[in-house]
Amino acid sequence: MLIAGWGVLFGVLLCGLLLVVACLLGLRRMTRALARDAEARLPPRGAFIETPGGRLHYVEAGSGPPLVLIHGLGGQLQHFTYAVIEALRDDYRVIAFDRPGSGYSDTTDNERARLPCQARAVHEAWRALGVERPLLVGHSMGGTLALTLALEFPDDVAGLALLAPLIERVDDVPPPMRLLAIRSPRRRRWMADTLAVPLTSWTSRRTLAQVFAPEPVPGDYAVRGGGILALRPQAFHAASTDLAMLEHELPRQVRRYAALKVPLGIMFGTHDRILDPACHTRPMQRRYPDMLLHLEPGAGHMLPITRPEATVAFIRRMAERSHLATTA
């Protein structure tokens, strides 16, 4: 009787284990299928350049004084090709990079995701392209990396035009990014290969609405804005790794801001629901009372996409302050 009971229990456990394995295999297949579809619909649109930190994907347009554009957490360079680059190319040489690990740039690990390592890769890339002293335009976490570049390579940066930048340490992860908050590298990889992409696919409409709020998500964002590239395991892994890295790197960087020596400008939407404008502008205003601050009325976090005209006007103002002459 006891043996029979153990046999039934073993059978139930075995069936449960097989069900879990089947579910995981199904999630992996779904992940690969979603990733293949995303890459087929939106293949690389730029060129590649080798750096000590890995191969970076970039797009380049126009001629004139150089602008280097750096996207934010979970994004890719199409946040700038959506509208901003086209509006600047007549007067500037504009280069937008996929940050290390993001878009079609090479994947990273915990070490190569560190702010100084990402900065070295981007710096090496623009130097290899023959760029000298660009104005750096950084959106969200791209603003964090632009600040790193100005601190690490002050003589090679003409100025900073920061769009809704992550500047100060924040204690709470914004709701749309909480799925990314995984400290364990091993668990992060497991999530990327199994649950993350299907979950992203199922919740993308709600998540994007939170990221863009209070403004609507453009109907063409999935392709024109590169949104479908988030449906790949490497995109989740890179964003989650970046988020974990910032927890340790950002406090160290904040202590260095007093050493900044380049012209600085910050643009925020007054209704940004991802980063609090006051939190990330007031400390910088105290450090740099002459910095350019533009608060865009009614705008949310995704300024390069939802407010391209105001964004371009802000970048042009910072180019003038940084003594970049245009061809106009």
Which carries the bigger pLDDT value, residue 197 or residue 157?
157
Whether 82 and 305 have beta carbons less than 8 Å apart is answered as yes
User: Tokens 């908050």 appear where?
Assistant: 181
**39 confidence band (pLDDT: 50, 70, 90):** confident
Max CA pair span of the chain: 92
Q: Where are the domains of the chain?
A: 41-321
CATH of domain 41-321: 3.40.50.1820
pLDDT at 327: 43
Calculate the average pLDDT of the chain.
90
Model pTM score: 0.91
Strand, coil or helix: 26 = helix
User: Tokens 């199994």 appear where?
Assistant: 194
